[in-house]
Amino acid sequence: MDSFSVPPSRMDKEPYSHILGYPKATKKELARRTLELKKLGISRIVFGGPTILNNLPVLGKGYVGVVVLSKMGKKDVALKIRRIDSSRAEMETEAKLLGEANKVNVGPKLIKSSKNFIVMEYLEGKKIIDWVRDLKGRGSAKKFREVARKVLEDCYSLDTAHLDHGELSYIHKHVIVGGSPCIIDFESSSLNRRTSNVTSAAQSIFIGSALSSAVKKIVKVPSTARMIKSLKKYKHDQSRENFDQVLQVLGLD
Ligand SMILES: Nc1ncnc2c1ncn2[C@@H]1O[C@H](COP(=O)(O)OP(=O)(O)O)[C@@H](O)[C@H]1O
Ligand SMILES: [Mg+2]
């Protein structure tokens, strides 16, 4: 389907209302949300992207939100819309955590937020698992190593900032690779937990997941015992030295 766009004032009408208030919202809630969108300065909602929801193409869907491409003036942005059936009561907490990640240059840049929306940098690209599966030809291993290294460096930055992402064991859904790889979705993040970003991400990329199976076709992965040993050491003491050792064992230095 070709992409097309509508102004916020159309979002409370069928069929767009099913996206503004997914899966189903009252007229009152739709009216509130339409006003909220206008206040945020969203000028158009663009229907386009790889996920089809109620016959409309969007950028993606999770349990908390539906993400659609939007325009803020001329600028492309990603708009995360809180699902009506989400377990979260608001989006400001997630926005705050994304802002914390941005402080160490991780995650899509936060632009604005409100009760039901997060406006952030739009990332063009593919989910890391699709990116790895589509890698082929000469230079694949090198490209993969660069991406894996950047992801783990970002995880190290999050560890240093005491921000635990919370879902990096499912990293295939949480990194978009386009220009530079970017970690997304801080809805399960916390500043009050022991951080396990590097260890979760490394395990998910190299040890046991759908992604690691695809990775093993691109690069030679060291023995699980060697990887676990260096990750355990890092887990115990999250120093730069121990992180560098992890990179070395993984062949990413
Ligand atoms: N900044 C973004 N740019 C482009 N696509 C995005 C962006 N943020 C999220 N997406 C897409 O939307 C999907 C759902 O977003 P996510 O934040 O994971 O929602 P949830 O918290 O509900 O899991 C993602 O898997 C991704 O495909
Ligand atoms: Mg998610």
Instruction: Dump pLDDT digits (tens) for 216-228.
Output: 999 999 999 999 9
Instruction: Give residues whose Cβ lies within 5 Å of ion ligand 2.
Output: 62, 185
Closest C-alpha to ligand 1, atom 11: 60
Which ligand is nearest to the Cα of residue 86, counting in written order? 1
Q: What is the total count of domains within the chain?
A: 2
**How many Å lie between the centroid of ligand 1 and the Cα of residue 60?**
5
Do 151 and 171 reside in the same domain of the chain? yes
138 is written with which tokens? 């000469």
CA 187 to chain centre: 10
Do 157 and 244 reside in the same domain of the chain? yes
Do 107 and 143 reside in the same domain of the chain? no
**Of 59, 93, 121, which one is at a domain's C-terminal end?**
121
Q: Please state at what angle helix 240-249 crosses helix 140-160, rounded to 10 degrees.
A: 160
pTM, two decimals, is 0.97
| pLDDT of the residue at 208 | 87
CATH code at position 218: 1.10.510
**Of 121, 140, 172, which one is at a domain's C-terminal end?**
121
Q: How many CA atoms lie within 13 A of 81 on its CB side?
A: 31
Do 105 and 132 reside in the same domain of the chain? no
**How many Å lie between the centroid of ligand 1 and the Cα of residue 57?**
14
Do 167 and 235 reside in the same domain of the chain? yes
CATH code at position 10: 3.30.200
**How many Å lie between the centroid of ligand 2 and the Cα of residue 86?**
12
Task: Give the span between the Cα atoms of 108 and 176, in whole angstroms.
Answer: 10
Closest C-alpha to ligand 1, atom 17: 185
**Of 96, 121, 146, which one is at a domain's C-terminal end?**
121
Single-letter residue type at 227: M
Do 67 and 102 reside in the same domain of the chain? yes
What is the residue range of 135's domain? 126-249
**How many Å lie between the centroid of ligand 2 and the Cα of residue 123?**
15
| pLDDT of the residue at 101 | 98
Closest C-alpha to ligand 1, atom 20: 62
| pLDDT of the residue at 238 | 98
pLDDT string in tens for the chain (253-residue length): 689 999 999 999 999 999 999 999 999 999 999 999 999 999 999 999 999 999 999 999 999 999 999 999 999 999 999 999 999 999 999 999 999 999 999 999 999 999 999 999 999 999 999 999 999 989 999 999 999 999 999 999 999 999 999 999 999 999 999 989 999 999 999 999 999 999 999 999 999 889 999 999 999 999 999 999 999 999 999 999 999 999 999 999 9
Do 133 and 245 reside in the same domain of the chain? yes
How confident is the model over 168-189, as pLDDT tens digits?
Answer: 999 999 999 998 999 999 999 9
